[in-house]
Structure 1
Amino acid sequence: MSPQICRSPQPNELATILDQAITWVKQAGEMALRDFESVKLLPLKADGTLLTTTDLKLEQFLTNQIRLAYPDHNLLAEEGRYPQTRSPYTWGIDALDGTTCFVRGLPGWGISVGLFYQSRPVMGLYHMPLLADLTYATPAGTYCNGQPLRKTVSSDWNGLGFLAVSAGAHYHFEINIPRIRALGNMNASLVYTARGSATAAFIPQARLWDIAAGVLILQQAGGELRYLSGRPVDLTVLVNGCPTPEPIVAGHPLVVAEVRKAISSKTRLSRAT
């Protein structure tokens, strides 16, 4: 069992937690790869989305590792519900992020883990096992496959830039941007935006685990998250277990302002006509 930390984490303490988390997500990735060629589907979830035995197996593995190391920490994960404690630490976990891609044999899935202290992100990891690709961040720095990322968020569209979106975003929103791409999951959208591969990301709605890995990675790379209305995203809402109250736009502050003007709800438009 690791020593319990009730105050704001020190750099050496975060380094220890990060080393543990890297080991855990890589082990989870190996488990997922073994299942990838023979996916076992379970009945659809209540919201109509896919669920596999791998989702449950990976979440159980990751939550067990965290509980053994830090038994007083809070856990918020996509598939299970866990007792909440008075600890200032909360983990956001999407153990198989991008289940649809996993089921369809596509590469856009990953292992997503984030740690928050009093609603402030202090660590984020996004691992894509099929690509042997790992991006992670703490306040000490952000790294992609061992190489540092410094202010890599795009500040303009550079001619061929694109907006990363969820698969159904176009159905509910008018998106007046020439190029959009669905990258498999919300954490991937944030991470690829942080790395400069995508110019910005649009997330219609999220729970903590949907963005837990990507928030700090994006912020450290020079990006921000704002609601479509322009308000800063309040992570306290998500750490408390609630969904975002409105859509999120993420990216460089200059680009976020542009994207917000280019997106509107189709529901609101239809009511106005």
Structure 2
Amino acid sequence: MPFQRNQVDELSSKGEAIVRRAGEIVHKHWDRPKNVQYKGRIDLVTETDTAVEDYLTRELSLLLPKARIVAEESAADVDPGDLAWIIDPLDGTTNFAHGLPHVAVSVGLWGKGRMIMGFIHVPKLNEFFSAVRGRGAFLNGRPITVADAARLDATVVATGFPYSVAEDLEQILPPLGRVLEATRGIRRLGAAAVDLAYTACGRFGGFYEYGLKPWDTAAGWLLVEEAGGKVTRTDGTTPYGFDSPGILATNGTLHAALAEAVEGEVLGK
């Protein structure tokens, strides 16, 4: 880790405070007109996305001036380099636009090839998830662990769909059918950061999705691992990275079985 313990303590404490204040912006904007704009056919952006990102960019840059900012609405590229804050100011913008509460502010700190800390704030549900590498994962200050399920049919799994869903149905539908058949059920909350946080705290036994960006997964990736889970590409064995086409996160015990359901073949043989 590129910081001393006391530095990590300070960054974690001040970073959490900044992310909590970003959640207050979401609260303040909740009942306002959303002024929705379109980045794509169903890819939305609102004034709240921009306001939260501007606030986080300013405050996190002051907290750690040497770190790059890789944020959804302003990133020129997705390479975090050696040190970066990775920011999704409003994960679940479509939910926000429709008044659905699964909306998160997600912030992760990347350093020297791995996640160092992560925060996922779901302000409308009053839930704050946090993790620092090597120190465990927490929900509202209480330690969390992944689900103890040993069978796919004893757990609920989450997924999401890319904005290019209409063009990618041939990739999306076969895994969806296999996972639906193998599990107790599938949930689609519309916010990957929330899906990963819920996997970390045991509400979901696992999560998979294709086509995500670093800001979708950075904080949640660390949360799952610090809660005792496993994160890879969807093949179940290849290490996950920001250039991965898809992500698979589970409690660890279910990893091979969920990978096989997603990929449609017996893997690791």
Identify the TM-score tier after normalising by the shorter chain: 0.7 to 0.9
Aligned twin of 1:94: 88
Q: Read off the aligned partner of 2:157 and give its amino acid letter.
A: L
Q: Which moved more, 1:189-198 or 1:8-17?
A: 8-17
How much does 1:227 deviate?
A: 1.4
Residues 26-105 of structure 1 mapped to structure 2, 5 A cutoff: 26-46=20-40, 48-81=42-75, 88-105=82-99
Is 1:142 equivalent to 2:141 in the alignment? no
Q: Which of 225, 228, 250 is the aligned partner of 1:222?
A: 228
Find the partner of 2:150 among 156, 164, 171. 156
Report if the CA contact (8 A) 1:115-1:123 is conserved.
Answer: yes
How many pairs align? 251
Look up the match of 1:271. none
Deviations 1:68-106 (A, max 9, x none): 222220111110026999972111100111101111001
Question: CA distance change for structure 1 residues 193 and 234 in 2, over 3 Å: closer, same or farther?
Answer: closer
Residues 27-66 of structure 1, C-alpha deviations (whole Å, 9 max, x = no match): 1111111111114224200464011000001000001111
1:190 aligned onto 2:196: yes
1:108-257 aligned at under 5 Å gives the runs: 108-139=102-133, 140-149=135-144, 151-157=145-151, 159-167=153-161, 171=169, 172-174=172-174, 175=176, 176-178=178-180, 179-235=185-241, 238=242, 243-244=243-244, 246-257=245-256
Identity %: 28
3-state SS in 2 of match to 1:126: strand
TM-score by length of 2: 0.85
What is the match of residue 258 of structure 1? 257
Cα RMSD (Å): 2.4
- Contact between 1:153 and 1:221, CA under 8 Å: does it hold in 2? no
Structure 1 residues 161 and 155: alpha-carbon distance in aligned structure 2, compared to 1, 3 A threshold: closer
TM-score of the superposed pair, with normalisation by structure 1: 0.84
In 1, Cα distance between equivalents of 2:3 and 2:240: 21
Contact 1:74 1:84 in 2 (8 A): no
Gaps of at least 5 residues in structure 1 are 1-6, 266-273
Structure 1 stretches of 4+ moved >3 Å: 82-87, 157-160, 167-171
Aligned 8 A contact 1:102 1:109 in 2: yes
1:87/1:257 CA distance change after superposition, 3 Å: closer
